[in-house]
Amino acid sequence: MKTRTLLPLTALGALLLTGCSTTGPLPTFGKAITPEWISADFDGQPGEEYIATSNLQDVVFNARGEVIGWYVKSYAGTPFIKKRADGTYDFSALKNSKTIVNMVGDRKALAVTADGVLDPAQPAQTTAPQLTQNLSQNRQEAVFRYTQNGATVTKTVTLHPRNFKMDVQTSIAGGPTNYTMLFPGLGKADNPSVKAVPVGGQLAAVQGSGTLSVPNIQYAALQEKPSQVAHALIVRPQDGTTANATLTGGPQGLIAVQLSGPSNLEVYGGKNELVHLYQSGYTSLPGLFDPNPFGKISLLIVKLMETLYKFVGNWGLVIVLLTILLRLIMWPLMQAQGRTTARMQVMQPRIKEIQDKYKERKDVESQRAMQQEMQQLYRDHNFNPAGCFSTFLPFPVLIALWSTIRNFEFDSGFLWLPDLAVPDPFYILALIYLIVNIGQLYVMTRKNPDMFRQQAFIYIIFLYFALTFPAGVTIYIILSTLIGIGQQILINKQVEKETATIGQTVQKAPARPAGKPRKTIDAPRE
């Protein structure tokens, strides 16, 4: 590769590896975050805040147990919170990065109101919360208590670090029986969909300005249009809790849940994405999420993964088995695609000869003659250019599989990997990924060294993605590529054997032995 081409690409790779954002954190590839509670001054106001940090999100509570920062990470494991050498914390990346959204914006979630008694805008007497965690049980728990106008509110919040759910149990002593809990969102969304379904009733929704009251809800939700970067906030009453909801649409989208007595709510605050919602048990809720064709394929893959897990008990082995199974299913299709590629490689030298032959001849007759020779070459090698389209047929399954593994939350590691949901902290998979893909490129372009040299530079950029992909995704790509290389090598040998005699010249007739007289026939006389 020419130096003038290599240098800019190397600079681009370095830029990607060091991070382009001036306000966001530099990418840390791997380094799974150990969930923990952090007590620190987050908002610059008197008193401490309490931050639950994990691979998926950083949730900031004030002393009343109100959420003042709800940061859902686009890429699991990104460490937006930096610990300084003196033991203090730097939250600037969390507050200022353009790659993460505060779902509550400048408002508060889990705020409790009651007419004339409880008001989130007024001062209250607070005590330091009790913070505990049990990672083996996927729990981070905080018990908040505060007193306002003689009423004491006790709020127990239990987060689950491996998914986006939290449980919120609330009780009020010495105060009103009826109260309201507020759930605003979704931060950047100008006009989220606000909906609720009453128990035994039909979906009710408000889009844009306006309010709607829904009694005895089965669930209520704020949702952006589904995507990998969309968010959702879902509230479900639990354990016999009866809740009514007032829905407010528009830029100030809000769910106000009216409760009475001790209550228990399950709250989902995270990605509005099918796999996470399925693992959290929400896809069965009526009217909440309607998967597209890719989503339906993803659901089948997730259910297959769950079935395999029952037999092997390890998610890493599940990915290995799933990859092998899907490659076997797609083997005939990949076989057809591989044969097309192999025949094209065999024809490359002859194609170049024909192109060079007519390179200086641009007239219509010459171009027509070149096309005729190319078509004859295709017929000789039984090559159908339309066969190249088979390359695209596996894409829906491959895209759905990649999306599924990327969003799936694993509860275990594999080999040296601490967590399959985040990148390899030792970069071993990234190196294997690079070697395997260059090997595949060589097998695909072995008859055309120039093409190999031209395309090899692409993997400088691909290396960045290998460093940032969740380990589970990278394992799938590596294993799938290795199987593809083996299949292509077998096909190459078959095609080369089949086409070995094509294009051989016909041998001339042998010369007559010396000394043997020739018979001469005279022309007839007139």
pLDDT at residue 9 greater than cutoff 50 = no
Q: What is the pLDDT of residues 452-463, one digit of tens each?
A: 666 666 776 777
Rounded alpha-carbon distances, angstroms, from residue 43 to 49, 133, 183, 279: 8, 24, 20, 33
- Token readout for 445 is 């372009």
Secondary structure of residue 53 in the 3-state scheme:
strand
- Average pLDDT (194-215) is 88
pLDDT, residue 268, reads 94
pLDDT, residue 337, reads 63
Rounded alpha-carbon distances, angstroms, from residue 429 to 159, 253, 467, 482: 31, 43, 8, 13
Please name the residues in contact with 201: beta carbons below 8 A apart, sequence gap of 6 or more. Answer: none
pLDDT at residue 360 greater than cutoff 60 = yes
Q: Which of 19-23, 361-365, 395-399, 468-472 has the lowest mean pLDDT?
A: 19-23
Q: What is the pLDDT of residues 110-122, one digit of tens each?
A: 999 998 899 999 9
- Average pLDDT (248-270) is 91
Query: Regarding predicted confidence, which is higher, 467 or 241?
Result: 241
> If you average pLDDT over every residue of the chain, what do you get?
78
Task: Grade residue 475 by pLDDT with cuts at 50, 70 and 90.
Answer: confident
pLDDT, residue 134, reads 92
Comparing CA positions, the residue from 166, 236, 169 lying closest to residue 245 is 236
Buried b (16+ CB within 10 A) or exposed e, 438-476: beebebbbbbbeeebeeeebebbebbbebbbbbbbbbbb
Q: What is the pLDDT of residues 361-380, one digit of tens each?
A: 666 666 676 676 666 666 65
Percent of residues, the chain, with pLDDT higher than 70: 71
Number of Cα atoms under 13 Å in the Cβ half of residue 352: 9
CA distance 222 to 207: 10
Please tell me the pTM assigned to this model: 0.76
Percent of residues, the chain, with pLDDT higher than 90: 27
Q: What is the pLDDT of residues 383-424, one digit of tens each?
A: 555 544 445 555 666 677 777 887 888 877 788 888 887 888
> For 238-345, where are the E strands, in sequence order?
244-248, 254-260, 263-271
Task: Grade residue 172 by pLDDT with cuts at 50, 70 and 90.
Answer: very high
Rounded alpha-carbon distances, angstroms, from residue 138 to 34, 135, 195, 206, 412: 11, 5, 29, 35, 12
